[in-house]
Amino acid sequence: MNENFMGGRVVVKFGDITQEETEAIVNAANSTLMGGGGVDGAIHDAAGASLLYECKKIRQSNYPNGLPTGEAVITAGGDLKAKFVIHAVGPIYGSNKGKDAQLLSDCYANCLRLAAENNIKTVSFPSISTGAFAYPKEEAAQVSSQVIEDFLNHNLTITQVFLVFYSQDDARKFVENPKFS
């Protein structure tokens, strides 16, 4: 099932994000940037040791206390088909004093901004925060669709955004709850 929005600039699909052939894939990282479970572990495994090495350097030089929630950094893609990985820290649902939606929105916006700054034209996102970080999938769909639409309406560098869901059911939950106008 591939569903399109915004005239095909946003594509919803089902699959494993480590197999994406877009120029950049987004990692739903945690603030340590040292890898972890879920999509983070899968991306580090598929990319190889150079990804962790670059993340360690970013921690040392810019974020000794970890990458704050809502922010994103970019590395090369190592052994992945994607040339770049954009690592973003999503909010842990319910632990941000009512700011979960703003922080999730910031995450997507910062990833898209980094992509555009690096002249990246195609980028794939996993469903940030909706696994271990427990963000309700229907709510996350509303937040992500709105920020992506807003960004793409003001930026022409990025030609296509792929939203990659790990199950058909998750893709369906997105398609039934988007806020694209």
Residue of 16, 45, 138, 176 interacting with ligand ADP (CB under 6 A): 16
Task: Quote the Cα angle for 152-105-143, to 5°.
Answer: 85
Give the closest residue to 27 by CA, choosing from 15, 11, 9, 42: 42
16 is catalytic: no
Exposure string for 87-126, b = 16+ CB within 10 A, e = fewer = bbbbbbbeeeeeebbebbbbbbbbbbebbbeeebebbbbb
CB of 49 to ligand ADP, least distance (A): 19
CB of 30 to ligand ADP, least distance (A): 7
Residue 68 DSSP one-character state: P
Please name the residue that has the structure tokens 């598929």. 46
Q: Is 18 in the site for ligand ADP (CB under 6 A)?
A: yes
What's the number of CA atoms in the CB half-sphere (13 Å) around residue 143?
23
Q: Is 35 in the site for ligand ADP (CB under 6 A)?
A: no
CB of 41 to ligand ADP, least distance (A): 8
Site for ligand ADP in 81-110 (CB under 6 A): 90
Residue of 5, 133, 162, 174 interacting with ligand ADP (CB under 6 A): 133
Residue of 10, 12, 33, 39 interacting with ligand ADP (CB under 6 A): 39
Q: List contacts with ligand ADP (CB under 6 A).
A: 16-18, 28, 38-40, 42, 90, 126-133, 164, 166, 170
